[in-house]
């Protein structure tokens, strides 16, 4: 049933009067990712000239009081407590899924069957089987003109988008080696409670799905080639954590996902790749770093300096060669034509504005928005292969003496 929104709530994001036709958006989930997606929908029509204007129609959550508060805070016009009611609404044309992974498949397949476009947060699902069902539903819906996209927002960082441009232009030559590290430290403390991200039934996997999904998508996207094989190790360092609300000395529950994963791989192109993801790397808050090495040059990106690329052109004379810093803030860099003067950097939240822009443009043009559900399925297959490999790779135990 609809949940009334408090008086004074601002239905932001619907665009100015007389602007482009509106597209009603309904969002399921309103926590961290829901807030980030709301920022994108709320801002995009105020920055970019769009063929469609998103109307922030309704947000959905199970707690009536909490979802009412979220609607008012985030700028949604209405609230629901059942995602099925959200999908059934005639004023919703696009369903944005920001829930834990265990509900992605059910909501996305139902939304596509109901004739809605779909944006789904990464990873696409909790299993290959679920991802296959979602990709099949998206392919069928595509024939009816409905589009489905996965929310790998880091693709929309201007520096990484420019890196993709340099790769496709051949500035790196033949790609030989890619390295990615994605490190966080929020699970270093063993007293951190057993949140949903630490339970396989809700999250699917741990650092692997949470961070590794981004790493795999970035590599495959920048390289323009899928991973063809992997060899992996995973580890859970803290195997039990306090149950939520248990307090000090309270009951513990089992952690059923990985804390960290290391894996190597080979792209279909023949290039080698290495990956390191962890949520127990002390001092690392959201440290994503990507390096690509080719026959003609190399690129380095660091999310902690997200407006910069470091580029080495190996065709330069040896006496003058070396990495140079590119400040990706010029108007002819990706997405920057609508933002600030050169040198005025963007931040994490802008990736969600760019994501909304690209999806709205694709819907208006009737073209597939990348990454598609098929792309998300490919990432899911890599994650499953990593887990399978890690399960087969035994731990070496030194022999005493």
CATH number at residue 231: 3.30.360.10
Q: What does the pLDDT read at residue 77?
A: 98
Looking at the domain assignment, is residue 172 inside a domain? yes
- 3-state DSSP assignment of residue 298: strand
Q: Is the pLDDT of residue 61 over 90?
A: yes
Question: Could you tell me if 146 and 163 lie in one domain?
Answer: no
Quick check: pTM over 0.85? yes
**Confidence band for 5, pLDDT divided at 50, 70 and 90:** very low
Tally of structural domains, the chain: 2
Rama region for 29: left / alpha / beta (φ>0; ψ in -120 to 50; rest): left
pLDDT in tens, 177-197: 999 999 999 999 999 999 999
Burial of 95 (C-beta count, 10 Å sphere; 0-12/13-18/19+): buried
Where residue 93 falls among pLDDT bands split at 50, 70, 90?
very high
Q: Return d(Cα 34, Cα 290) in angstroms, integer.
A: 26
Asked if residue 211 and residue 164 are part of one domain, the reply reads yes
- Is 224 in the same domain as 114? no
- Residue 173 shares a structural domain with residue 62: no
Considering only residues 67 and 247, tell me which one the structure prediction assigns the higher pLDDT: 67
Quick: pLDDT tens for 23-55: 999 999 999 999 999 999 999 999 999 999 999
- The confidence band for 396, taking pLDDT boundaries of 50, 70 and 90, is low
My answer on whether 170 and 145 are in the same domain is no
Q: How far is CA 293 from CA 156, 186, 224, 272, in A?
A: 21, 31, 14, 10
CA 380 – CA 210 distance, rounded (Å): 12
Q: Are residues 112 and 179 in the same domain?
A: no
Give the per-residue pLDDT at 249. Answer: 76
* Number of continuous H segments (helices) and E segments (strands) in the chain: 11, 17
Q: Stretch 111-125: mean pLDDT, rounded?
A: 98
DSSP state of 287: E
Output the domain CATH number for residue 104.
3.40.50.720
201 and 105 within one domain: no
Q: Is the pLDDT score of 111 beyond 60?
A: yes
Mean pLDDT (the chain) is 94
The predicted structure's pLDDT at residue 13: 38
In a domain, residue 182? The reply is: yes
Question: Is 313 within 8 Å of 297 (Cβ atoms)?
Answer: yes
Full domain range(s) for residue 253: 158-305+307-346
């Amino acid at each position: 049933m609809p949940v009334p929104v408090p008086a004074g709530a601002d239905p932001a994001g619907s665009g100015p009067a007389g602007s482009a036709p509106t597209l009603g958006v309904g969002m399921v989930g309103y926590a961290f990712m829901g807030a980030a997606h709301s920022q994108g929908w709320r801002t995009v029509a105020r920055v970019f000239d769009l063929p469609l204007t998103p109307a922030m129609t309704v947000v959905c959550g199970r707690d009536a009081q909490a979802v009412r508060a979220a609607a008012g805070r985030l700028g949604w016009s209405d609230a629901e407590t059942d995602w099925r009611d959200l999908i059934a609404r005639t004023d919703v044309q696009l369903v944005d899924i920001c829930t834990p992974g265990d509900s992605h498949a059910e909501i996305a397949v139902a939304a596509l069957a109901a004739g809605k476009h779909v944006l789904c947060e990464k990873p696409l699902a909790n299993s290959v089987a679920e991802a296959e069902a979602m990709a099949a539903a998206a392919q069928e819906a595509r024939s009816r003109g409905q589009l489905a996209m996965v929310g790998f927002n880091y693709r929309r960082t201007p520096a990484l988008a420019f890196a993709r441009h340099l790769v496709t232009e051949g500035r790196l030559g033949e790609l030989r080696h890619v390295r990615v590290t994605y490190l966080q430290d929020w699970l270093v403390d063993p007293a951190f409670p057993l949140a949903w991200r630490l339970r396989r039934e809700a999250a699917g996997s741990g650092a692997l799905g949470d961070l590794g999904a981004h790493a795999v998508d970035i590599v495959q996207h920048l390289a323009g080639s899928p991973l063809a094989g992997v060899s992996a190790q995973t580890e859970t360092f803290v195997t039990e954590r306090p149950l939520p609300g248990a307090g000090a000395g309270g009951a513990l529950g089992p952690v059923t996902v990985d804390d960290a994963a290391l894996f190597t791989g080979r792209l279909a192109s023949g290039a080698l790749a290495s990956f390191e993801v962890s949520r127990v790397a002390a001092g690392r808050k959201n440290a994503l770093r990507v390096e690509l090495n080719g026959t003609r040059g190399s690129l380095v990106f660091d999310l902690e300096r997200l407006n910069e690329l470091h580029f080495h052109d190996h065709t330069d004379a040896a006496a003058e060669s070396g990495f140079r810093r590119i400040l990706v803030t010029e108007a002819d860099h990706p997405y920057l034509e609508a933002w600030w003067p050169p040198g005025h950097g963007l931040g994490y939240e802008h990736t969600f504005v760019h994501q909304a822009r690209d999806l709205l443009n694709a819907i208006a043009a009737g073209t597939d928005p990348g990454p598609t559900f098929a792309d998300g399925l490919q990432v899911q297959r890599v994650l499953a292969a990593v887990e399978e490999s890690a399960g087969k790779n035994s731990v070496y135990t030194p022999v005493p003496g």
